[in-house]
């Protein structure tokens, strides 16, 4: 892998805002957000990509885990690595390894899966804001502002948003570059509606940029999310798996033929070093 100049993530937000628009963001998607799929999405108006969630202790301690979980190239920017961690030391060690190859590091405090919560990852961290604060402060203390530090969270409650505002402001005070907020609680089901008002309340309380996430299935959904919440970025996950050309302005709701052709070309050019190991239906 080749180290490269950092892309300034905050400048991306500023550029989008100056155009009265929002940053188009691809979520960290387990097994899918690999190099080749990121390359595809970048060709179709995704402006910021995340890696899949990577377990920090395994990444820090195992060369085979690093080989399996992360690959990049000189064109793979802007890119943020997302880590699952329950110890500050593991997060710091993993970040020290990956920092030369990415533009930012994100702490996953939003994964609702039971295994993650049981290990103190994902939503399990929402019960431990002191540890969240220590992680953010430690990374900010050890790395320059050229490396963005961010946290992804969920709404703590579905009706009263004051505790989510308090947590978000705490992360801001600790030095995050931006926050991502999924508009459901840790206990919500995938079919439950996204609580746009909660996202708006949190957005209005912050000085740092906020990326809104949840149920983005089309460009119309993204435009609506931005219109209601005034968020600085919109993150899509399953919508991009169904339609990697989702963020194209002229997209008609289905994967474009050009997107399919681009995917075939990317896979062919990767040859025997294809990192994307899950067959993807587009």
Out of 49, 109, 111, 231, which one is annotated catalytic? 111
* Domain range 9-269, its CATH number among 3.40.140.10, 3.20.20.70, 3.40.50.970, 1.10.3720.10: 3.20.20.70
CA atoms within 13 A on the CB side of 156: 17
Question: Domain-by-domain residue ranges, the chain?
Answer: 9-269
Q: Give the pLDDT confidence of 7-42 residue by residue, as tens digits.
A: 999 999 999 999 999 999 999 998 889 999 999 999
- The answer on whether 182 is annotated among ligand-binding residues is yes
Can you give the pLDDT at residue 282? 45
- The answer on whether 137 is annotated among ligand-binding residues is no
Q: Is 80 helix (H, G, I), strand (E, B) or coil?
A: strand
Asked whether the beta carbons of 221 and 212 are under 8 A apart, the reply is no
The pTM assigned to this predicted structure is: 0.94
- The answer on whether 280 is annotated among ligand-binding residues is no
- The answer on whether 129 is annotated among ligand-binding residues is no
- The answer on whether 217 is annotated among ligand-binding residues is no
For this structure, is 111 an active site residue? Answer: yes
Q: Give the pLDDT confidence of 94-137 residue by residue, as tens digits.
A: 999 999 999 999 999 999 888 888 899 999 999 999 999 999 99
* pLDDT exceeds 70 at position 153: yes
Exposed, middle or buried, 99 (CB in 10 Å: 0-12/13-18/19+)?
Answer: buried
How many CB atoms are closer than 10 A to CB 228?
Answer: 15
- Contacts of residue 85, defined as CB under 8 A and 6 or more positions apart, other chains included, come to 55, 56, 57, 91, 94, 107, 121, 135
- The answer on whether 157 is annotated among ligand-binding residues is no
């Amino acid at each position: 892998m080749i180290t490269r100049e950092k892309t300034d993530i905050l400048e991306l937000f500023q550029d989008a805002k100056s155009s009265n628009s929002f940053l188009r963001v691809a979520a960290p998607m387990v097994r899918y957000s690999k190099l080749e799929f990121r390359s595809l999405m970048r060709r179709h108006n995704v402006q910021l990509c995340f890696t899949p969630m990577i377990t920090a202790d395994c990444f820090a301690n195992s060369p085979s885990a690093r080989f399996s979980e992360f690959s990049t190239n000189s064109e793979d920017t802007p890119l943020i690595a997302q880590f699952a961690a329950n110890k500050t030391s593991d997060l710091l060690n993993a970040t020290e390894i990956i920092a030369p190859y990415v533009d930012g590091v994100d702490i996953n405090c939003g994964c609702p899966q039971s295994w993650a919560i049981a290990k103190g990852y994902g939503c399990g961290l929402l019960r431990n804001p002191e540890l969240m604060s220590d992680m953010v402060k430690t990374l900010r203390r050890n790395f320059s502002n050229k490396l963005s530090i961010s946290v992804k969270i969920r709404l703590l409650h579905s009706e009263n948003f004051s505790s989510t505002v308090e947590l978000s402001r705490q992360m801001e005070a600790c030095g995050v570059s931006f926050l991502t907020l999924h508009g459901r609680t840790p206990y919500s089901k995938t079919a439950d509606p996204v609580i746009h008002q909660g996202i708006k309340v949190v957005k209005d309380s912050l000085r740092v940029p906020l990326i809104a996430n949840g149920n983005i299935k089309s460009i119309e959904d993204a435009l609506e999310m931005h219109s209601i919440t005034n968020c600085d970025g919109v993150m899509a996950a399953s919508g991009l798996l169904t339609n990697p050309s989702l963020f194209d302005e002229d997209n008609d709701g289905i994967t474009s033929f050009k997107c399919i052709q681009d995917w075939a070309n990317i896979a062919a050019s990767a040859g025997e070093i294809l990192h994307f190991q899950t067959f993807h239906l587009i």
